[in-house]
Amino acid sequence: MAQLLTWITIGYAAVLVLALAISLIASAVYLNRARADLKKIAEGLAVVDPQTAPLQGVLTQADEGLVTVRDNLRKVAENLGALAPETAGGAR
């Protein structure tokens, strides 16, 4: 009986080691693929970066202008909100 349990334990350990090895190899393969994809992305970004550098100043100015527009639209919304109860009450 002890010999049977020994062989079952050895078999279980072998299956466990094999499963662990397979999962580690699969993880290494997928990590290697991810590394290759990230390298391609980094190369693409290196090409795009100098091409978009001149837009920095233009986009900063556009952002500042849009902040002003946003603030003014908020004031308009507040004013319209203040007028809405008056208009609705007078229409009845």
Q: Which domain holds residue 32?
A: 1-53
- Angle at 30 (CA atoms; ends 13, 17), nearest 5 degrees: 5
State whether 33 and 78 are in the same domain.
Answer: no
State whether 14 and 47 are in the same domain.
Answer: yes
Q: 37-65 pLDDT, tens per residue?
A: 999 999 999 999 999 988 988 999 999 99
> What single-letter DSSP state applies at residue 47?
H
Cα 20 to its chain centre, rounded Å, is: 30
pLDDT of residue 89: 55
Q: How many domains does the chain have?
A: 2
Instruction: Name the phi and psi angles at 53, rounded to 5.
Output: -55, -40
pLDDT of residue 83: 82
State whether 42 and 59 are in the same domain.
Answer: no
State whether 63 and 88 are in the same domain.
Answer: yes
What's the rounded mean pLDDT across residues 16-39? 98
